[in-house]
Amino acid sequence: MPRKKIGFIAAGTETAQQALTELRARYGHVPPEEAELIVALGGDGFMLRTLHRFMSRQVPVFGMHRGSVGFLMNEYHPDALEERLENARPVRLHPLHMTARTLAGETIEALAINEVSLLRETRQTAKLRIRIDGIVRLDELICDGVLVATPAGSTAYNLSAHGPIIPMGAPILALTPISPFRPRRWRGALLPHTAHIEFEILESSKRPVSSVADFTEVRDVSHVQVREDREVALNLLFDPEHNLEERILKEQFLT
């Protein structure tokens, strides 16, 4: 089998840059734009930026942990890298597509691998109306915010907001409130991945809300729509003993 062209990229930290120099010297290197496979060195934040950067190419990405958080990364070992890449198991992800309309009438679209979150901008709580597939399911949610998370993002902000962990491959999205005030006992919902979710911001001038899709923030929104984008596929590679499905399962039993 012909050797794949590998492109190495790294976060700006000293640890990641040292690993980058070592791996390029040992295994060669092609520019990332020409690579058939990307090796990303850093933490989860750098992995998200890498996936966004190469989203249009849908090139497989193998991450190695040289950062602070490494849930999406494999362990760093410089030896036998080509064998690891050959034996790595793929995980296919689909991002969320956010369409946000502002009070000024502007429409902004963005993709999110982890989650789309709505957050209050001022001291006053947000008031939101939630529609699922065109049906009002919650007429008024008073809260600090709310988010929609993918399975890959369910262990990130979603988990911190007491949302459920979703196994990889499950055709489900998590809808999770952030510090809900009314209805106080509402803890969110699990939705089919085909759901079209719409948030209407009530009293939007008095209670401004921002919408965030990974790295894209839109201020002063009036309506936000979220759906899974099945036309975009992201391919992560994991060592067989370090696969993402197993780590998500383990996360649910941590004490």
Is residue 144 a contact partner of residue 178, using CB atoms and an 8 Å limit? Answer: yes
The Cα 232–Cα 230 span in angstroms is: 5
214 is catalytic: no
Three-class SS state of 170: coil
Q: Maximum distance among all alpha carbons in the chain?
A: 62
Q: Which helix (H) or strand (E) holds 21?
A: helix 14-27
CA angle at residue 176 from 171 to 179, to 5 degrees? 170
Strands 189-192 and 221-228: unpaired
Three-class SS state of 213: strand
Q: What tokens were used for 208?
A: 């401004």
The residue type at 49? R
Sheet holding 6-10, edge to edge: 6-10, 37-42, 61-65, 234-238, 89-93
Strands 126-132 and 135-149: antiparallel
Task: Catalogue the active-site residues.
Answer: 44
